[in-house]
A and B are shown apart, each in its own frame.
Chain A
Amino acid sequence: MKTTASLIVLLISISFPSFANSADSYSVDSYLGIDYVYSDIEFTDERTNPNSIAVRAGFSISRIGLEAQYLQATNTDNIYRLTFDLEQSAALYLLMKSKVYNGYGVDVLAGYASTKMLVTGSGNPYNEEDTYQGLSWGVAIHKEIPYFEQAKIRLGYQSLYRDDYMEITAISLGVMYQF
């Protein structure tokens, strides 16, 4: 899975030098954003939704770049007697941006995330803090805020972690400021 994803990214990137050779000038964008994150930790028959705040920073050159994200929990949630605390998550993504039409743009992210989660049980012997690392991807749509150039509102969906037993995803809503 990871090897296939790498190959896809490499194949896509082979086409990029053609943009580099175009006669157009390069657009360099850097930005900072803050989101409220509604996360979803899903098991076979149960799920829980601890929430977080995310800070993101990134830059792109001609619509391809990098984005770093850091997530910090704001509350915990339970599955019966088990309390889930999505303590923190850090991720680095390859960012691919679409052209902006009527103020709307779409970002696609592919990268790697490391998420630390604490699960404690009252009455249940399970008490563990674990780190869940692996391939992460996301997609977001953003819209320029009228009369406030450089500011955008952003709605995104991310998969932070997935294996045969559980999946951690997140829906984020926030703002970003472009420099």
Chain B
Amino acid sequence: MKALTKTINVMRIKKSRKYSVFLSFVIALTSSMLTGCDTDNNSAELANAVEVESLFEQGLLVEEITIKGAHTRIKAGETQQLNAIGITNGGTNVDVTNDTTWSSSDITIATVDENGLVTGIANSEVNQGIVIITATSNSTGISGEGQISVSDVVATGIKLNQPMSDGSNINTCIAVGITGDVTYADGYISMNTASGMSFSVDEASTATIDSNGILNTSSANIETTSITATLDEFTDTLSVTASPVNLDVIDILFDDEIIETSTLAMGERMLVNGQITLTTGETLYNIDTAINWLQADGSYLGITSTGDNKGTVLALRTGDTQLIGNCGGKQTAVTMTVTGEDDIESIEINQDLDIYIEPLGSIELTLTADYTDSSLSSLNVSEFAYWSIEENGALKGEYINLGTDTASYKVTSIIDEASDVTVTATYNGEVTTTTINIEELSSSE
């Protein structure tokens, strides 16, 4: 019996060893596979090819790139923003400036950053200072080129170009850029540029033009504007005709949605935008720079009508009114309701503190209205007050930071001598004054 038991135990041990050996082999084999050689394939390229196919299917695959803003001359230290415009297989244009890799053919003359901003490094007379800037699509590898010239050779003439290549009228209310060709002494021609030019329009026109050559028109009638551009001692004049014939419908937008009504609490601010459609198509055009904003009646709203924050609306008095946007003879309105309490307790300039400035110095004046409603407490109404300066020729004033909570009336001393000048602010029937003391200030003040 003992021998039998011993034999059985030996057999169990042998089986156990065999099983352990088998198990060790399995584990070793599996472990070696798990830590085995890594994959060697082009899954990244394949994934990119799939993405390209998806874009092609959607008609969004960029098949050609053109560079906008190129073929122009800058000096060392100046910059020029280029944009890469992709033409898709669907026939549309897309801005791919930030989806491309930019490079310069000679970084000793000009560099370009990842956003297409070219910086002139050194003026060059070799090959008219021309550098080739290349934009290569990150997804398709398609590239486009443009040239930039970096040189300080003097200009010899300018010629403004019609904004419409066929010379036809522009559409009123839709901003257009006015550019010209600049000829230089070495024969180089900077094309379609506004760089370095100053612009003006004739006084009879209702159009405006900014320092970048952006022309804004708003007349309800066909209007021809004479535009003058000056570069150094050279000048050119261009007649541009704007027509409202094709204008269709104006919409007022808030947060990119068309609105017909809106409610604001006292002291609340909102930014509205204007857009227009043409009878000739479905494209929507932003007309923020050309649209005129006004309210139907009363002073329920404070509307910023110029500057970067044009279209900002501030609720100033409780009640109902209409916010109207018009341009080119077209008009639309939004019913605005202002809620809350609008009883003013007092108004004050710069918290009624004494104001001192040095001769030729300046200070910002803020008119604050204090309300009886504790939930509102006070409101900066500087932008919508009427300011007047005592007429002694010592101060001039201008509104700044329009459309913001920090809007103010900035007064600047224009004579280099001491003086005391009274400034008056009138708002909602309330009047307050302050004295600007112009004098040399000691270091302790």
Contacts and interface: CB of A to CB of B under 8 A. Distances in A.
Interface of A: 2-3, 5-6, 9-10, 13, 16-17, 20-21, 23, 26, 43-46, 61-62, 64-66, 79-82, 92-94, 110-112, 119, 121, 124, 126, 128, 130-135, 161, 163-166
Given A5-B34, A9-B31, A131-B40, A62 B47 contact: no
A166 B47 CA distance: 7
Nearest to A13: B27
A14 to B, nearest CB: 9
A10 B31 contact: yes
13 contacts: A2-B34, A3-B35, A17-B19, A26-B19, A44-B47, A61-B22, A65-B26, A79-B50, A80-B57, A119-B46, A133-B39, A163-B39, A166-B43
A132 B49 contact: no
Contacts of A44: 47, 51
Contacts of B26: 13, 64-66, 94
B210 to A, nearest CB: 42
A135 B34 contact: yes
B46 A165 contact: yes
Contacts of B37: 133
B15 A81 contact: no
A121 B56 CA distance: 13
B353 interface: no
B419 to A, nearest CB: 70
A44 B27 CA distance: 35
Interface in B183-226: none
Contacts of A161: 39
A6 B45 contact: no
Give chain B's interface secondary structure class. helix
B142 to A, nearest CB: 12
Given A20-B19, A166-B47, 5 more contacts: A2-B36, A9-B31, A43-B50, A131-B39, A164-B44
B42 interface: yes
Report, as a range, how many residues of chain B touch the other chain: 35 or more
Nearest to A136: B33
B39 A6 contact: no
Interface string B19-33: 110110011011101
B105 interface: no
A130 B43 CA distance: 9
Contact of B49 (A110, A119, A163): A119
A82 B41 CA distance: 17
Contacts of B51: 43-45
A26 B20 CA distance: 12
Nearest to A114: B39
A130 B27 contact: no
A82 B50 contact: yes
Given A9-B31, A163-B39, A20 B23 contact: yes
For A92, A131, A133, the residue with the greatest tally of chain B CB atoms inside 10 Å of its CB is: A133
A108 to B, nearest CB: 12
A79 B23 contact: no
Contacts of B34: 2, 5-6, 9, 110-112, 135
A132 B56 CA distance: 26
- 4 A-B pairs with least C-beta separation: A112-B33, A126-B49, A165-B47, A94-B30
Contact of B15 (A9, A26, A111): A26
A94 B52 CA distance: 39
A132 B42 CA distance: 9
Contacts of A65: 26
B53 A163 contact: no
A143 B45 CA distance: 42
Nearest to B21: A20
A166 B30 contact: no
B20 A17 contact: yes
A17 B54 contact: no
